[in-house]
Amino acid sequence: MQQIATTYPEHARAIWKLGIPLILSNMAQFAIHMTDTLMLGWYDVTALAAATIAT
């Protein structure tokens, strides 16, 4: 059975343990979206407009 965090540093550590994967996945999703936008912009303006409207 796990112990319950009772002090502020223990709470902060538990929050960061949950938050870091969320932060990293959000940054990865942003990077993928930015890469897609840049590649479509180089390819064709119409394709970029269509992707912008679709997302």
Which tens digit of pLDDT belongs to each residue from 1-54? Answer: 577 768 889 889 989 999 999 999 999 999 999 998 899 889 888 988 888 888
Q: State residue 3's pLDDT score.
A: 73
Altogether, the residues listed in the chain come to a count of 55
Q: Which residue has the tokens 């319950």?
A: 4
| Residue 50 within any structural domain of the chain | yes
| Residue 23 within any structural domain of the chain | no
| Residue 7 within any structural domain of the chain | no
| Residue 22 within any structural domain of the chain | no
| Residue 15 within any structural domain of the chain | no
| Residue 2 within any structural domain of the chain | no
Residue 39: give the domain boundaries.
29-55
| Residue 44 within any structural domain of the chain | yes
The 3-class secondary structure across 2-40, one letter per residue, is CCCCCCHHHHHHHHHHHHHHHHHHHHHHHHHHHHHHHHH
Q: How many domains does the chain have?
A: 1
